[in-house]
Structure 1
Amino acid sequence: MTMKQLKKFIDHFRPSRHIMIKSWFTTTFIVVASLLFISLGSQIFLRNYFLSHALTRAENNTASTAQAFEGALSSITTRFVDICGTTEFKNKFSRIRRCKNEDYTKLNSDLQDTLHDLYVSYSFIRSALITSKTGMVYHRFSEKLFTTTDYTLGNQAESICGITILPAQTSPFLDQQTVIPIAIPLTYMENTTIVIVADSVESSDAILFLLLDAEMVRDFLHTYSNRSLEGSYYLLDSGNLIADASRTNTKLPDSDVFRPLPNRKDALTIEQKDAYLILNRIGNRSLCLANLISMDQLLSSLHTIQSYLYLAILVVLLTITVGTLIASNLITRSLSKLISAVSAIENQTYDSSQILTQSDELGQLSKSLDSMYQTIQQQIEQIKQERQAKYNAEIRLFSEQINPHFLYNTLEYINMEVYSNHNKNASMMIQNLADFMRIGLNFGGELISISKELAHVQAYVNIMNYRFSHKICFTSDIPKELLSYEILKIILQPLVENSIRHGFGLDNSSSYLDVPSIKIEVYRDDPWLYLRVIDNGSGIDIERATQILHTGTDGQKHVGLNNVYQRLVFFYGETVKITFSSIPYYENIVQIRIPFIYPIPDFEEEHH
C-alpha cells in the first residue's frame, strides 16, 4: 500500500466525515469523563466512609484492650493487698527495716512464701523482689541476681510515687529478660496494724517490685485486640514511653509522635502524618495505652473494593464502546439513504420509491420527508394562486372598513346639493370623498405616511362638516420630522368616527354644549411612537371600550375599535397598547402605543 492510498484510507475514517466515528468519539469521551468523575467522587466518598468507620472501630478496639489491661492491673493490685495487707507480712516487714547482714539469710528464707505468692498472683508476673534502704535485696531462691542492684533498680527516685509502672528494662536476674517493673514503695507505721504504700521513695522503708514479663504483656494486649484494627501498641505514662507492645519488631517512632493525654479526657484520637494515634487512659492513672495505626491499615479493605471498581469501569467502558460502534453503524446505513433522498429532492430527481421501509424512527422520518415533499409541492402551487388573491384581498380590506351608511348618506347629500344647485359644496364633497377613498385604498399597500393618514382623517372630517353645518373643529399636533414616518393605514379614522358618532352625537342631530373639537397628537418617546385622538365629547365608558377592544363585543356598535387593535397586533406584535382616559365634555383620550421602528421594514416585501 502506497502512502497516498494509506492517507486516503485514513481520511475515509476521519471523525469529520463519519457520524459513526463521531458518535463513538463523543460517547466514549462522555462515558470516560463520567466514569472518571464517578470514580473520583466514589473514591473520595468511600475513603471518607471507610476511614470514619475503620477509625471508630479502631477506637473501640483500643478502648476495650485498655479496659482489659486495666482489669489485669486491678487484679494484680488486689492480690498485692491480699498478700501484703496481713499482720504476718507486717511483722516480716518490721524485720526488713532493721535487718543486718547476719539476719539476711534467715529473713529472705522467711519471705519466700510471700514472694512466691506474689509471683503466682498473675500470669505475666515474671519475678517479685523487695529492696530495702539497708541495701538488702530479697528474692526467691530459684532466681539468681545477675548483678548487684540499688534501692530503685536503677530508676530515678522521683519517678516513683505510690504504685508506679516504670519503663521497660532488663531483668536484674540471670535470664536478662525484658520486664516492666511495678514499683510499690512501702512504709511501716507504728500506730497501724498493716504495711501501707508510701507516697515517695524518701518516705518509704522498702520497695516491692513486681516484674511483668514484657512479651507476655504484649501477647495479652493482642489477645484482646482485633488484629485488623490494631497498629502498634505502646504503654505511655504522661506521654513518655513505658513499653513497646507492638506485634512486630518495628522501628520506634520519634518521641514527638507520643502525646500526653489531657487530665480530663479518658480517650483521644490525634491525626498524625499518614497515621492516627489513639490514646486510652488505663484506670485513674496517668498511664495510657497508645495505638499507632497507619492510614493504609485503616483503609486496607478499601483497596480491594477499588480493584473491583476499576475492573467494573473497564468492563463498562468496553461494553459501551462496542455497543456504540454497533448502534452507530446501524444508524448510519439508514442515514446514508436519507441523505441520498434529500440530495434527490435538491436535484429534483426524487420519487417515492426512495422511502425507507423500516418501522423505526428513521423509517418514520423517511415517510415524513416524503410527506413533506408532497406537501411542499402542493403549497408551492397554492402560493402561486394566493399571491394574486392577496392583492385583491388587500384592496377589499379598506372597503370592508367603510360604513355603508356613511357612503350612502354622503352620496345622498351630494345629490341633494346638486339638486339644490349648490354645485360648489357638491364639488368639494366629491373631492373630499375621492381623497378619502384614494388615500384609504393606498394602492393595496399596508403602510402609509402619517401625513397621508392625517389627510385621510381630514377628508373624513370635512365630509362630516359638510353634512352637519361645519360643527367640528379639527386640529393636529405632529412634529415635522414624523410626518413622513410610515405607519399602518386606517388606524386613526375609525377612532375619529367613534368620537363624532358617540362623543358628539352628530349622527342623530343632537345638540351640544360647546364647539365639538377633535385633536390628533403624534409624538415619539423611544422606543415607542404614540398616537392620540383627543375630543371634548360626552366621554368614554372605559370598561366597555376595553371589553370591545379585546373581545370584539360591540354593544353600541363602536366602529372598528377591535379591528384596529387586531391589525396593529398582527403587524407590530403583542407590544401594541391602546389605552383610554376620559373627562366628559373636557378631554377624552384614546392613545395608541406602537414600537418606533426606523427605518421601518418593508412589510410588503416580507409578505409578498
Structure 2
Amino acid sequence: MKLKLNKHWSRHFKDSSLIRKIRFIILTVSVLLLSLILLLTFFIYQSAIRSREVARGQRAAYNAASSLDTSVSNIIDRFIAICGSQKFTQLVGQIQQDPAQESSITNSLQTELNDLSNCSYLVSSALIISADLAHSYAPYRVPLRLAAADQFSHAELADTSGVTLLSSRTNPFYTSMAALPLVIPVNLSNGFAEISVGDASPIAYVVLYLDQTKLLTSLDLTSNGSDAYQYDLITTDGHYLTAVDQSAQIDGKLDQEVLNRLKVSQQQAQVGSAQIQGQTAVLYMPLEIGHASLLIHIARQSFMDFLGSARYSLLLAAGILLLIILAISLFMRRYVTDPLKHLVRIVAQIKEGRYHKKQPARSRDEVGQLLDAINSMNDTIQEQMRQIKREEAAKYRTELKLLTEQINPHFLYNTLEEIQSEVVRQDAAAAGNMIQYLAEYLRIGLSSGADLIPITSELRHASAYVNIMNQRFGQSILFMYKIDPELRDQLILKTILQPLIENAIRHGMGIDAPGMQVSVPTIEVDFKRGDNQTILVAVIDNGSGFDASQLEQSLSAALPAEGQHVGLNNVYRRLITFYGQDHIKMRFNSIPYYQNRVSLEIQTGSHNAG
C-alpha cells in the first residue's frame, strides 16, 4: 500500500504544473535555510565571543594608546632638549621683534630645525612659523613647497593650547605624504622660551609633521598587525584627525551618541565602547598629550575568527546544508531542468534540420504539452518549407526561361528576312552560309532545353552570331578567343556572350551609333580560371567605346528603356538569377578605338555548374 501511494504521489508530482514544482522547491529551500540561519544565529549570540573580542580590543586600545603617548612624550622631551637653549630663546625674541628677518633667522635655526626633523622616526620634517603666519623658517635640506597660510588658518592655531595634534593634511615638504601636524606654541617668559598654555598669545609655533602612515603602522604593530583592528585619531569634540575607516563618520565627525560615550570615558580615564552599524564595535581611549583620543574599529570578521569550538558545529551545519541542497538540486534536475534541456536539444535539432524522428512526451505537464506543440509546429514548418521550395523552383524555371526567350525573337526575324532577300537576289551561296550560321546559332542556343552548356559551345554560338552580323551588315569583324585548357569542358550558363558581342557591334562599330570607321574591327573573348572556383570572362573590342557609368546604371534598372542596353541588363539578371547576386561581378572599362572591356567574374562554386 505504501509503495502504491509513493508511486501515485510521484506520478502526481510529475504531471503537476511547472510553476507548482518550482514553488514547492523554493518553499522547501527557504524553510530549510531559515531554520538553519535561526539555529546558527541563536548559537552564536549565546556564545561569549562578543565579550571576549571586546576585551581583546580594550587591551589593544591600552597598548596602542600607551605606545602613542610614549612616542609623543619622547618627541616633547627631545623638543625641550633641543629648544631649551639660550640661543633658541634669543631667536624667538628676534621673531617677536622683527620676524621679517626671515633669511637671517632661518639660517640661525638650521641646527634646531634639523635636530627636530630627526628627533623621532615618526617626525618627517619640522617648521617654525610666526604667530601671524606671514613668515616661515624651514630647514635648507628640503624645500618648502606650501606656505604656512596655505596649511593653517588663524582660527585653527588660535584654538591650540599647549601641545596640540591637528588633523591630517599634505606635508609642505613632501607633498605626496599625508602628515599630522604636532603644533607647539612658543612664548617668552622670564627670559626663557616656554610652551604657551592657556590664553597667552604665542610668539611662534613649532610644527612637527608626524608621518601618518608610520604612525598608523606603529599602532597596527601593537596588535601584532591584526587585520581585525583599524585605528583613527579624533579630537575631544569628535572630529577626525585621521580617516582610515569612515564607517562611523558623519561629515567627518562621530555620531552624537558615540561622542557622548567618548566624553564619559575621558572623564573616567577608561576605554569606552559603542556598537555602530550592526556587529562593528568601536572602542576609544583618551591620550595624555595632544588633546586627542584613539579610536579602534573592530571588524565583523574578527568575531568569526575566534568562534573556537563552534567552528565544528558550523562545519557540521554547512555539511548538512550542502547535502540538502545537493538533494534538492538532483530533484530539480530530474523533474525540471532535464525535461527543459530535452526540449532545448529538440529545438536545436529542428534548427539544424536534424530532427527526423519525433520524440514522444514523457509527462503531461507544461513541458510535455510544449513538446507536443513543438512536434506539431515542426510538421507544419517542414510542409511549408517543401511547398516554398516547390514554388521557388517553379518560379526560378519560369523566370530563367522568360529571360532566355527575350534574346531570340527580334534577331531571328531580321536574320530570316536577310535570308529571304538573298534568295530573292538568287545569291545561293550567301543564303546557304546564312542558313548554316543560323542553324548553328539556334542549335546551341536551344540546347535541348538545358540551361548549362560547355564553354566551347558558348564560343561557337558567339562565333555564329558574329558571322551572321558580318553577312547582314557587310562587316568584316574579326572574332578571336582564348580559353584555359582546363575550362574547355566547363559548363556555363548559355547565351551570355551574344548580348555582350551584340552591344559591342551595334554601339561600337557604327551599326546603330555613328562613329569613326574602324579599319580592322576586332572582338576578342578571353576565358580564364580564377581563385576559388571562379571563372573570369572578358569581352574586348576596338570600337568607338561606351560610357561605363551608363552601362553600370543599366544593370540596376528593373526595365531599361528601348535601346538602353536591354541585352546587357538581360544577361546580368540571368546570371544573378542562376548563380546568385553575391557571386556575379560585372565591370566596364573603355578606351575608345583601342580597348573596350566588359569583364565578368562568375563564382561557379555557388551553383553546381560543372
Q: TM-score, normalised by structure 2?
A: 0.45
Q: TM-score, normalised by structure 1?
A: 0.45
Structure ID, larger Rg: 1
